[in-house]
């Protein structure tokens, strides 16, 4: 019988497993603590579990994690990993170092089918969804490496903003978030967890009803259908007339503000009219706008907006009472932008 990966189970699921093995329900909390608080890398370390039961655990469960295939360290504290999964597929995981902590950018799918024209990740089509343990594994592997580099740092924030569309792998992503957020497990606060979507309406509506204090980011990128459909095919399925009411409903359900990510691309989405429409929509749905200088990828002809244009947008949004920042760039010396490293190793 194939072993089950223990990092794939929520506390409730592990409790059910323990009861099935004639253990007290308290066992699962003990195991969670070893896995996520004490970061055990073998069952033998679990000293308060009897030797006999440790042997049983070894027979039934594995502690397999993705393997580090390539690692790169940037001067600015960014770490980028290319990880190899058990079936040989490779995924990227990035760590971003902020003044307030360390955020790991988690990949949710091998490849992506959303087809956004500006994105390097989507150059490789979706192969499969990531399993729960493969998302949990990204955090654990990154956290271990981080502690080796600097024992005073640890993963404090999670953004599901790596390759893939999280709401196209909804159930696994939510199970992963519940493990990350569990007070008995990693204990990463819900307000420190963000999921980023390109605008999958049913996912947004479900997410707002989860009853968690987690954050939503929307890759907005254009406030006018004609432009948005040109660069994001998802807009044809969920145009603004569907997306905006869904975001209003999300806000009403969750009472949480959201973030719009807005890549600034020269002569495409950086006109005065775009600034005006963007401000109107952001106000309507209570969004904070993160302006992102476009990260040039060789596979397309888009150019970054001028700094003047970016600052014009920023100031205009502020003048309209919309909170806005210009995103700091990370790890440009190590190809840390989405998909660059994987695309290179997969021969694109
Ligand atoms: N599918 C999800 C999460 C992955 S994309 C989503 O669409 O949100 C993560 C973020 O990186 C998105 O906001 C995406 O639009 C942005 N991004 C992709 N390519 C980029 C590039 N070349 N420059 C800057 N940001 C990019």
Any alpha helices (H) in the chain, and if so which ranges? 11-20, 26-32, 51-60, 132-149, 170-181, 201-208, 225-231, 234-237, 240-254, 272-285, 307-319, 340-345
Output the six-digit token pair for 11: 């506390």
Query: pLDDT by residue (tens digit) across 60-98?
Result: 999 999 999 999 999 889 999 999 999 999 999 999 999
Catalytic residue positions, numbered: 92, 338
Nearest ligand 1 atom to the CA of 114 is: 1
- DSSP-assigned letters across all residues of 158-217: EEE-SSS-GGGSHHHHHHHHHHHH-TTTT---GGGEEEEES--HHHHHHHHTS----EEE
What spacing in Å lies between the alpha carbon of 25 and ligand 1's midpoint? Answer: 42
Nearest ligand 1 atom to the CA of 119 is: 19
What spacing in Å lies between the alpha carbon of 119 and ligand 1's midpoint? Answer: 6
Q: Is 260 exposed, middle or buried (0-12, 13-18, 19+ CB in 10 A)?
A: buried
Residue 198 annotated as binding site: no
Residue 169 annotated as binding site: no
Residue 112 annotated as binding site: yes
Give the closest residue to 104 by CA, choosing from 184, 10, 193, 174: 193
Q: Which residues line ligand 1 (CB under 6 A)?
A: 114, 116, 118-120, 161, 165, 196-198, 219, 261, 263, 292, 294-295, 297, 337-338
Query: pLDDT by residue (tens digit) across 16-69?
Result: 999 999 999 899 999 999 999 999 999 999 999 999 999 999 999 999 999 999
Q: Using a pLDDT cut of 90, give the percent of the chain over it.
A: 87
Residue closest via CA to ligand 1's atom 17 equals 119
Q: How far apart are CA 295 and CA 330, in angstroms?
A: 11
Query: In the prediction, which pLDDT does 1 show?
Result: 73
Query: In the prediction, which pLDDT does 231 show?
Result: 95
* pLDDT category of residue 327 using cuts at 50, 70 and 90: confident
Query: In the prediction, which pLDDT does 336 show?
Result: 64
Query: pLDDT by residue (tens digit) across 192-250?
Result: 999 999 999 999 999 999 999 999 999 999 999 999 999 999 999 999 999 999 999 99
Output the six-digit token pair for 104: 């790991």
Residue closest via CA to ligand 1's atom 15 equals 219
Query: pLDDT by residue (tens digit) across 243-284?
Result: 999 999 999 999 998 999 999 999 999 999 999 999 999 999
DSSP 346: T
Query: In the prediction, which pLDDT does 348 show?
Result: 44
Query: In the prediction, which pLDDT does 124 show?
Result: 84
What spacing in Å lies between the alpha carbon of 47 and ligand 1's midpoint? Answer: 44
Q: Evaluate if residue 347 carries a pLDDT over 60.
A: no
Residue closest via CA to ligand 1's atom 13 equals 219
- According to DSSP, the residues that pair with 259 across neighbouring strands are 217, 288
CA angle, residues 100, 205, 320, in degrees to nearest 5: 60
Residue closest via CA to ligand 1's atom 7 equals 198
* pLDDT category of residue 180 using cuts at 50, 70 and 90: very high
Counts of helices then strands in the chain (DSSP H, E): 12, 14
Query: In the prediction, which pLDDT does 342 show?
Result: 76
Residue 196 annotated as binding site: yes
């Amino acid at each position: 019988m194939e072993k089950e990966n223990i990092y794939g189970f929520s506390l409730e699921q592990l409790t059910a497993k323990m009861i099935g093995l004639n253990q007290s329900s308290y066992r699962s909390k003990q195991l969670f603590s070893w896995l996520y608080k004490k970061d055990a890398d073998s069952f033998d370390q679990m000293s308060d579990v009897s030797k006999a039961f440790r042997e049983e655990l070894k027979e039934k469960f594995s502690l397999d994690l993705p393997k580090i295939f390539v690692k790169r360290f940037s001067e600015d504290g960014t770490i980028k990993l290319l990880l190899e999964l058990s079936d040989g597929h490779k995924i990227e995981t990035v760590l971003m170092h902020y003044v307030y902590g360390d955020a790991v950018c988690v990949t949710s799918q091998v490849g992506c089918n959303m087809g956004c024209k500006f994105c390097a990740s989507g150059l490789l089509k979706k192969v499969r969804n990531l399993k729960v343990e493969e998302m949990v594994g990204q955090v654990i592997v990154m956290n271990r490496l981080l502690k080796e580099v600097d024992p005073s740092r640890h993963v404090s924030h999670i953004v599901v903003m790596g390759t893939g569309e999280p709401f196209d792998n909804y159930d696994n992503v939510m199970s992963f978030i519940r493990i990350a957020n569990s007070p008995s497990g990693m204990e990463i606060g819900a307000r420190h967890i963000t999921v980023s979507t390109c605008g999958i309406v049913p996912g947004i509506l479900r997410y707002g009803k989860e009853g968690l204090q987690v954050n939503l980011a929307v890759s907005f990128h254009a406030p006018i259908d004609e432009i948005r459909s040109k660069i994001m095919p998802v807009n044809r399925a969920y145009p603004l007339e569907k997306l905006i009411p869904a975001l209003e409903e999300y806000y009403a359900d969750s009472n949480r503000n959201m973030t719009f990510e807005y890549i600034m691309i020269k002569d495409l989405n950086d006109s005065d009219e775009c600034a005006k429409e963007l401000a109107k929509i952001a106000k309507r749905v209570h969004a904070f706008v993160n302006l992102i200088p476009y990260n040039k990828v060789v596979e397309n002809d888009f150019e970054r907006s001028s700094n003047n244009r970016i600052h014009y947008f920023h100031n205009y949004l502020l003048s309209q009472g919309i909170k806005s920042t210009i995103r700091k760039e990370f790890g440009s010396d190590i190809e840390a932008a989405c998909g660059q490293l994987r695309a290179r190793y997969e021969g694109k």
